[in-house]
Structure 1
Amino acid sequence: MTAQRRKTRQQMPALPTPRVRDQVRARPRYGRWLLDQVHDTLRRFVILPSEEAYDAVTLWVAASHGVPWLDTAPRLAIISPTKRCGKSRLIDVCECLSFNPLTTANTTVAALVRSISPVDPPTIFIDEADTVFGTKKQAENNEDLRGIVNSGHQRGRPVRRWDVRRNRAEELETFAFAALAAIKDLPDTIMDRAVVVRMRRRANDEKVERFRLSRNREELEALGAKVNRWLRSYSEELSKGVPEDAMPVEDRAADTWEPLIAVADLAGGKWPDRARAAARVMTGAEAGEAASGDAAGLELLQDLRTVWYPEEDKVHSNTIVNRLINIEGARWSNYQYGRPINQYELAQLIKPYGISPKSVRAGADKANRKGFERHAIEEVWRRYLPEEQPRSASVAPGQRRSATRKVRV
């Protein structure tokens, strides 16, 4: 075999033989049966929070076997509020079922990118990812690794590094399926590219079979090999993706869920409907999580509109804080550990909206202190708040407009 032919074969993903391919395609119900087997295997060993979560993990595992024909590689974020919720068990089971698993509890950027084949990339499993991204300092120290995890979500996003020995730049592949398990949320940019499974501690009446790698690995790997032969027998169909009007979600969520829905459509039966239901339910649940995380910021914007007088072009930060604290029923008088909000916390809450305090001359004495300008705040109100009148009266002396939320004078 010539060097050119060897190189060509190395650049092709592994495919079933024509005989195996014909045998697989002659059994149209084989795919849905395999997905049912993966689903039942997950139920044997792991307690997941919902039926949609079982379906999503089943499809994610199956889709990992078709990564050479996909344009996106969704992350699987396995999140729990505390330890002993089954994250590592789910990682172990998925590792045995997925394509060419590469498991690590910690890694470096160099080791990770050099382990990813551009032809048939592995499925990456990072357990205890909270030790990498858990604190602000840890996240800052591992910013390069986060960039790799983010860029690997989409095909054609390699990283460039300078090879000192060869004195030239080299491109390193990042595209690969990845599962990350962590206590509490991962960085937002990773969560946004992930199918998120929020684990919970198993109740006393919830029973699962005890999982041991030495005892169960061979069985699960054999099932994964069957999924591999099935899915790669339909590589051409898989590469066509899912029509845009057949996707139940949009934007980044559509990119993340498309490989899973494509697998479900190939399997047929009830799986296409189950996949779309899982996408809607789990994406909606995460949107709710994000909304609750943004609740304080949105409430602040609303209450700023309440306490900012129409005639004021600029207001000092300490004036805003004092007015916020006086809103009855708001969180600001008891913001953190029984104490009211302060100017630093005000600045941090409003910073994500692109506004930072600056030196302004405001008030009757026109003192020069840190504060905000109305035109900047109004632009944020226009984008994030509905068109309506403020909810309550301002706290200045004299007659002011009335509303449902009262302010103590």
Structure 2
Amino acid sequence: MTGEHLLNEIQTFLERFIAYPSPESSVAHTLWIAHAHLVDAFENTPRLAFLSPEPGSGKSRCMELTEALTPRPVLSVNSTVAYVFRKISDEAGLPTLLMDEIDAVFSGGKSDGNEDLRGLLNSGYRKGATAGRAAIRGKEIITEEWPSYCAVALAGLNQLPDTLMTRSIVVHMKRRARGQIVEPYRRRVNQPEAVDLTSSLAVWTEQIRTQVADAWPELPEGIEDRDADIWEPILAIADAAGGHWPITARDAAVLMVAESQKKPATLGIKLLADIRLVMGDADRISTVELLAGLHGMETAPWANIKGEPIDSRFLAKVLGKYDITTNNTFKINGVSVKGYQTHHLFDAFERYLPAPVVTELGNSGNPGNDEAERVANATPAELVPEVPPAPVTCTVLDTCRVCAAPLLAPASKLAGICGKRNTEHDAERIAS
């Protein structure tokens, strides 16, 4: 069985029992499971997080199937932290750590007994990472460094801390819609099939170990820094599988990274954007005039932050985080005023805001009212300037002609057929 065929089989198996929120979610889950068999060959291991706003969204089923298909799974809900650390150090091989109800781990304080576990999760995505612990030996308290690097899958309600979210491939699970049917997973009925797939996966991943360990997979544009770290192992697996998987995996990476960036802009980013709008083309502005302009923006929060309009101290505190300070020396109409000059703000504008959008004067005569509303309410992803799409020169299909499965890869869309291998799909592939 080829790597492409094996991953197709695993993806099909998963989709029988899990109602994924999007096609790319099952792609990421499939490749992450394969990566868990080779985690010691990579420099980084992404956490896989199944999150949802409400219970009953299929997160535990995702964890159950992940357990069935990964090597040496450890359910931390039944394990002490000491046991987990020792399993990571086990000569038998690195475990796959599975943590359900992860929100409980991060909802308590430092005295809730989960501090060591939080340290393990935050540190263990990079090879060679350790987590420090204090231990009592006789009458002495000594420090110990325990290895913390291993594959980790998580499931829980709501969000995770940013330190963990940025190390994770996140699948935002949803409750099944009416009419969305999946098979019930019964361990004693379906486990034998999972065992066969896991055995085949163990054999194949061992065959490609050297290939993926030495790989430098090409990353899609826009995937960089921490995102590059967590997607590189996934793309290396896809490249080793061949067939449609290299393109399918990169499509999934682009979509899921874009989704991860859809979070509200910080108060500081909103303030910078609104200051740029108030200043317009001016090269300087007094603090009094700036505050008046900010207070007058109906769609912005500046007239009522914690029940009070913002003042000069608020400006200084927030802008100081961006190395922006006021200047006491310039004059406006011959009067010395305290305020801000464009050259003090330019660096922050360039680093944190998109290029300004030119707008026409509205009925009020004030430029940029519509733009102010757009920027004030935008997420970071929405603040990226729009790029006109390339002209379409050929017909593409969004669903497979045989099974109506969604098509992610451009090559699959052009062919009009998904990557599944069976009699019907192979016959259509030959005919076309």
Task: Quickly name the TM-score band, shorter chain normalised.
Answer: 0.7 to 0.9
Q: Supply the distance in 1 between the matched residues of 2:224 and 2:270 (Cα, whole angstroms).
A: 27
Deviation of 1:128 after TM superposition, in Å, equals 1.1
The answer for the alignment partner of 1:267 in structure 2 is 241
Q: Supply the distance in 1 between the matched residues of 2:311 and 2:57 (Cα, whole angstroms).
A: 38
Question: Are positions 1:233 and 2:201 aligned together?
Answer: no
Answer whether contact 1:123 1:178 (CA < 8 A) is retained: yes
The answer for the alignment partner of 2:273 in structure 1 is 302
Alignment CA distance shift 1:74-1:381 (3 Å): same
Alignment CA distance shift 1:245-1:203 (3 Å): closer
Deviation of 1:310 after TM superposition, in Å, equals 6.0
**Pick aligned residue for 2:153 from 173, 176, 179:** 179
DSSP-derived class of the 2:156 partner: strand
- Comparing 109-118 with 224-233, greater Cα deviation is found at 109-118
Question: Are positions 1:332 and 2:301 aligned together?
Answer: yes
Q: Supply the distance in 2 between the matched residues of 1:111 and 1:70 (Cα, whole angstroms).
A: 24
Deviation of 1:173 after TM superposition, in Å, equals 0.7
Question: Are positions 1:123 and 2:96 aligned together?
Answer: yes
Alignment CA distance shift 1:389-1:59 (3 Å): closer
The answer for the alignment partner of 2:348 in structure 1 is 380
Aligned residue identity for 2:276: R
Aligned residue identity for 2:205: L
Q: Supply the distance in 2 between the matched residues of 1:193 and 1:352 (Cα, whole angstroms).
A: 29
Question: Are positions 1:211 and 2:179 aligned together?
Answer: no
Q: Supply the distance in 2 between the matched residues of 1:246 and 1:284 (Cα, whole angstroms).
A: 12
Answer whether contact 2:37 2:205 (CA < 8 A) is retained: yes
Taking structure 1 as the reference length, what is the TM-score of the superposition?
0.72
Deviation of 1:174 after TM superposition, in Å, equals 0.7
- Count of residues in correspondence between the two structures: 360
Deviation of 1:383 after TM superposition, in Å, equals 2.5
Answer whether contact 2:325 2:344 (CA < 8 A) is retained: no
The C-alpha deviation readout for 1:193-244, integer Å capped at 9, x for no partner, is 1111111110011001112334433432332122112211322222212345
The C-alpha deviation readout for 1:137-166, integer Å capped at 9, x for no partner, is 589985653332122111011123344328
Answer whether contact 2:105 2:118 (CA < 8 A) is retained: no
The answer for the alignment partner of 2:424 in structure 1 is none
Q: Supply the distance in 2 between the matched residues of 1:192 and 1:252 (Cα, whole angstroms).
A: 7
Q: How does 1:310-325 map to 2 (within 5 A)?
A: 315=287, 323-325=293-295
DSSP-derived class of the 1:383 partner: helix
Taking structure 2 as the reference length, what is the TM-score of the superposition?
0.69
Q: Supply the distance in 2 between the matched residues of 1:133 and 1:154 (Cα, whole angstroms).
A: 21
Unpaired runs of at least 5, structure 2: 329-335, 373-432
Alignment CA distance shift 1:404-1:243 (3 Å): closer
**Pick aligned residue for 1:223 from 194, 197, 213:** 197
DSSP-derived class of the 1:114 partner: helix
DSSP-derived class of the 2:133 partner: strand
Question: Are positions 1:199 and 2:169 aligned together?
Answer: no
Aligned residue identity for 1:126: M
Question: Are positions 1:405 and 2:369 aligned together?
Answer: yes
Answer whether contact 2:122 2:164 (CA < 8 A) is retained: yes
Deviation of 1:251 after TM superposition, in Å, equals 2.2
Answer whether contact 2:294 2:303 (CA < 8 A) is retained: no
The answer for the alignment partner of 1:396 in structure 2 is none
The C-alpha deviation readout for 1:86-120, integer Å capped at 9, x for no partner, is 11111111111111111124876544323313652
Q: Supply the distance in 2 between the matched residues of 1:168 and 1:127 (Cα, whole angstroms).
A: 32
Alignment CA distance shift 1:349-1:51 (3 Å): farther
Answer whether contact 1:59 1:264 (CA < 8 A) is retained: yes
DSSP-derived class of the 2:88 partner: coil
Question: Are positions 1:78 and 2:50 aligned together?
Answer: yes
Answer whether contact 1:134 1:186 (CA < 8 A) is retained: no
The answer for the alignment partner of 2:13 in structure 1 is 41
Structure number having the greater helix percentage: 1
Q: How does 1:18-97 map to 2 (within 5 A)?
A: 29-97=1-69
Deviation of 1:380 after TM superposition, in Å, equals 2.8
DSSP-derived class of the 1:302 partner: helix
Unpaired runs of at least 5, structure 1: 1-28, 361-365, 394-400
Provide the alpha-carbon RMSD of the alignment.
4.4
Deviation of 1:312 after TM superposition, in Å, equals 5.3
Aligned residue identity for 1:40: T
The percentage of aligned residue pairs carrying the same residue is 33
Answer whether contact 1:133 1:139 (CA < 8 A) is retained: no
Aligned residue identity for 1:128: E
Q: Supply the distance in 1 between the matched residues of 2:234 and 2:355 (Cα, whole angstroms).
A: 39
Q: Supply the distance in 1 between the matched residues of 2:38 and 2:157 (Cα, whole angstroms).
A: 29
The C-alpha deviation readout for 1:263-322, integer Å capped at 9, x for no partner, is 2222222112211111112112212x13xx216542221113345786557x48xx9766
The answer for the alignment partner of 1:363 in structure 2 is none
DSSP-derived class of the 1:275 partner: helix
Alignment CA distance shift 1:402-1:49 (3 Å): same
Aligned residue identity for 1:150: N
Aligned residue identity for 1:299: K
